[in-house]
Structure 1
Amino acid sequence: MPERRCAITRAEDRTVHIAGPSAGPPFTRAVLDVAGAVLTWPVLGPTGLPAAEIHDVGRAQQWLWALYGERTAAAVDAVASGTPAAELTLPEQPTALAEAAARLALGHWAARWWPTSYLDGIPALEPDVLGLELAALTHECQQLLDASGELEGTELLKEHLAALDPLIRWRRSAAPPRQLDRVLRLIDDAADNVGLDGEALRRLGPALEQDHRPTATPLDLSELFARQQEFTLAAGSLRTATDRVIARGSGTNDWCRYPPGFVDASEGAVSWTAYALGAGRRIEVEVVADIAAPVGGVHLAAEVHVDGSPSDRVPLARRDDVWSGRADLDIPASTTPSIEVGILLPGFDPGPDTDDRAAREAVRALARHRLGVAAAPHDSAAAHPDSFLAEIVATAAVEEDF
């Protein structure tokens, strides 16, 4: 069995670290908060066992042995007590709990970082379907979690129950995915554990007791999980007929600088045009919107740098499916400016980081690959049980939406 070396160290703040594969920007890391620790897997490339940052070794001992093995659990306890850093050989084959935890972390990553893009042809994941599978996986991983983590699973179940009846109907179809039955059984058990009730949940138990008897009528997943989203791209231009274009370009679409769902994830979603209006200069910015609509007066902004000068903020308003805004530029009329534009949400933005377009493109490639696998017929050799149900639903909606 393949093996790898793993270092266990203690930081000055007494946090114990289990080294794992290196990871890049936040959108390339799948993270899971567990009892006494934070676990991290790289989204790009092989995962295996996660890196761990353990801040409460006592609480973490409830799962360390099941995730990493008894030798690692003992080494963590020893290092936390002051013995020198340890280096162990770990098997590459993860335990059943490690596999479930990695899948749960990847599901949370997908809920936050999935690169939905109309421009790039990457469909959104149906949130209720993904949410119910996350609730099921949370229940499967309850050994890892404390009370707050278990409560999160219950809240996921409550929030996304709208997808339960469609999932039950999907199970009765001619070719349900192999993982669907397990997801539904975990949901049934999770709801029973917390005493959650409802019409759909009352139908779930009897449905699971019946043998699979596929319906004769083909099932249209795109109708079964109809999404309330359209892309009209009907913004139009802000300029007047007397304006003269002096420069135009694409801006930076850094996913870390705004919440999920606000902006199309494409690298070409941000565009700007600079105009001459007599002796004056003006910039207009347009950003292709995603499905999330602003609430409570929330607006994006464009951060504009001209010739390396300090940035100016241009407020953006949403019109149909485009965020747009304009501002005057303080530059000489004889100058052809060098302009850089980025998008952010004031108050959310962690600040500009090193722009990593290659990592964003790798994430898009990962999403396309996963959708390709999910689209394979479920009885074919290419079918993969690791596809999320929401990914399978998304592939059914591609033709309709894109």
Structure 2
Amino acid sequence: MAQAGIDVHVARGEDGTIRVASGPVVGRADDGSGVAAAGPGFTGAVLDVAGAVLVWPVLGEPGLPVAEVDDVGRAQQWLWAVYGERTAAAVHACAAGESAGVRVTADMTALAGGAARLGFGHWASRWWPASYADGIPALEPDVLGLELAALTHRCHQLFDDFGDQPDDCAAELIEEHQAALDPLIQWWRTASQPADTARHLESVLRLIDNAADSAGLDGPVLRRLRSSLDQGRPAATPAGPGTLFARHDGYALAAGEPLLTGGRVIARGSGTNDWHRYPPGFVDASEHAVSWTARALGARRRIEVEVVAHVAAPAGGASLVAEVRVNGGLPDRVVLARRDDMWTGRADLDLPLPAGAMPPRFEVGVLLPGFDPGPGPEGREDRDAIRALVRRRLATAAQPPAHHASPHDASSGLFLAEIAALATGEDY
């Protein structure tokens, strides 16, 4: 059922793209989408749909998305279902050249709420700021992936068969993350869980079953899912998420030398932890995850860098590097290797220190070559705001069930992965 109307502005850009927005949006995203954003890329939830890209502000009320429509014909299948008929007609009029821009009243529909939740879920899979140092537990990727598959199936009207929408991947998500299906079924059958969590689990499991059936997927775990849903929910399993999704990964030793002490310390400090510059699952999201020490060893000058690793950081393969600038000069790069829970590396620098010189000024950041888009806006306040948002959500998960938002209330509803994270994150 549609909720109260919201004023939106529909306008055609010089490149022919039609924008639908409920308010002014400043700046541009740097995630390659070309979609307007209110700040750094990690402050926006982005969803690729048929003929358009949708963006919601993560740090504000989800509401209606900003839409950048590049194919009106394809987008018409969902425009009316997300924004209502008046907005869909206004987009068509702009595309036909009948109007350069118009303000209309849009509806907050059920599909708009589902799309906002799906967009937020994709944001969480990319930007969730897991950190031992900050006490923010990681989300179990298979649990989140399966709920995204369920939401994608629920929001199927947003997508078409052209195959150019990376977020239209319910079948792929099910196949990639099906290791969590048996634990989810056991969680659903747990005797002591709150009734709203049981309903949430059943809704997700039934959507996964429907999505798998629509895609022609089969296999033992999917057959067990169908059988469990047919039998109903006998309250027989004592295990809860804290047991079912307990982490046993630990930190495996990888190649790399431990940093050695010695020499005279010239300077030490914390570097910049820019979330844009490496993929998810590499670095602890704390603002203080990057630290460095500069030493003088005789005539040599050496920089040593330590970076706190994410719990899922790869022990081999791709290696991070630290980018070091001295006194604003050209950057030097220090290759980092994973060892236990740290990325570490060291390198000699060309750093003459004449008598009486001021101490050098170091800038140190961490990146993954080939992935790094370059330094983004500073973003410290935005990163702090993201951490605060996530802590509020986890605090909600810790409250009695009556305080939980409905799982269908756009991005405000908790994901199963968030509930499980609270149960398995005691060591954070």
Q: Same fold (TM over 0.5)?
A: yes
CA distance in 2, matches of 1:305, 1:187: 49
Q: Does 1:48 align with 2:68?
A: no
Could you say which residue in structure 2 is the equivalent of 1:17? 19
Distance 1:194 1:384, change over 3 A: closer
Which residue, 408, 411, 415 being the options, matches 1:388?
Answer: 415
Gap runs ≥5 in structure 2? 26-37, 408-412
Note the C-alpha offset of 1:69.
0.4
Q: TM-score, normalised by structure 2?
A: 0.87
Deviates most, 253-262 or 322-331:
322-331
Tell me how far apart the structure 1 counterparts of residues 103 and 314 of structure 2 sit (CA, whole Å): 50
* Contact 1:284 1:325 (8 Å CA) reproduced: yes
Q: 318-327 vs 72-81, which deviates more?
A: 318-327
Does the aligned pair in 1 maintain the 2:275–2:285 contact within 8 Å?
yes
The answer (yes or no) to whether the contact 2:6–2:22 under 8 Å persists in 1 is no
- Per-residue Cα deviation, 1:1-21 (whole angstroms, up to 9, x for no partner): 765432111122211111245
Q: Distance in 2 between matches of 1:45 and 1:240?
A: 46
Equivalent of 1:189, from 210, 221, 230?
A: 210
Q: Name the TM-score, length of structure 1 as normaliser.
A: 0.93
Of 341, 345, 369, which aligns to 1:346? 369
Q: Which amino acid aligns with 1:168?
A: I
Question: Once the two structures are superposed, what CA deviation does each residue of 1:182-231 show, in whole Å capped at 9, x if it has no partner?
Answer: 1111011111111111122112223223343323x642322211334325
CA change 1:381–1:290 in 2 (3 A) is: closer
Q: Does the CA-based 8 Å contact 2:128-2:138 persist in structure 1?
A: yes
Once residues 375 and 66 of structure 2 are traced to their aligned partners in structure 1, the CA distance between those partners, rounded to angstroms, is: 26
* Number of residue pairs the alignment of both structures matches: 397
CA displacement at 1:83 relative to structure 2: 2.2
The DSSP-based 3-state class of the residue aligned with 2:425 is helix
- Tell whether 2:170 aligns with 1:153: yes
Q: In structure 1, the residue corresponding to 2:169 is in which secondary structure? A: helix
Identity over aligned pairs, percent: 62
Counterpart contact for 2:290–2:307, Cα < 8 Å: yes
Residues of 1 paired with 2:272 and 2:104: CA distance?
A: 42
Q: 1:111·1:130 contact (CA, 8 Å) conserved in 2?
A: yes
SS in 1 for 2:64: coil
CA shift, 1:384, in A, is 5.0
- Whether the 8 Å CA contact 1:5–1:87 is kept in 2: the answer is no
Whole-Å separation in 1 of the counterparts to 2:306 and 2:286: 13
| Alpha-carbon distance in structure 1 between the residues aligned to 2:5 and 2:155 | 24
Counterpart amino acid of residue 6 in structure 1: V
Q: Distance in 1 between matches of 2:248 and 2:103?
A: 51
**How far has the Cα of 1:232 moved from its partner?**
8.6
Q: How many Å separate the matches in 1 of 2:305 and 2:177?
A: 36
Q: Does 1:213 align with 2:234?
A: yes
Per the TM alignment, residue 396 of structure 1 is displaced from its structure 2 partner at its CA by 0.2
Q: Which residue of 1 aligns with 2:189?
A: 172
For 1:154, the aligned partner's letter is A
Q: Secondary structure at the match of 1:160?
A: helix
**Pairwise CA distance, 1:24:** 1.3
Please tell me the residue identity of whatever aligns with 2:13.
A
- For residues 94-109 of structure 1, the aligned pairs below 5 Å read 94-109=108-123
Question: Which residue number corresponds to residue 139 of structure 1?
Answer: 153
Distance in 2 between residues matched to 1:274 and 1:112, nearest whole Å: 33
How big is the alpha-carbon RMSD for the aligned residues of Structure 1 and Structure 2?
Answer: 2.2
Equivalent residue letter for 2:231:
Q
**Counterparts of residues 216-255 of structure 1 (less than 5 Å):** 218-230=238-250, 238-241=259-262, 243-255=263-275
Q: 1:10 to 1:89 in 2, by over 3 A?
A: closer
Tell me, which stretches of 5 or more residues in structure 1 are unaligned? none
Alpha-carbon distance in 1 for matches of 2:276, 2:65: 22
Match of 2:382 in 1: 359
Structure 1 distance, partners of 2:388, 2:251, is 22
| Mapped contact 1:377–1:383 kept (Cα < 8 A) | no
Cα distance 1:273–1:29, how it changes in 2: closer, same or farther (>3 A)?
A: same
The list of structure 1 runs, each at least 4 consecutive aligned residues, that deviate by more than 6 angstroms after superposition, is 232-236
Q: Structure 1 residues 188 and 48, CA, compared in 2 at 3 Å: closer, same or farther? A: same
Match of 1:256 in 2: 276
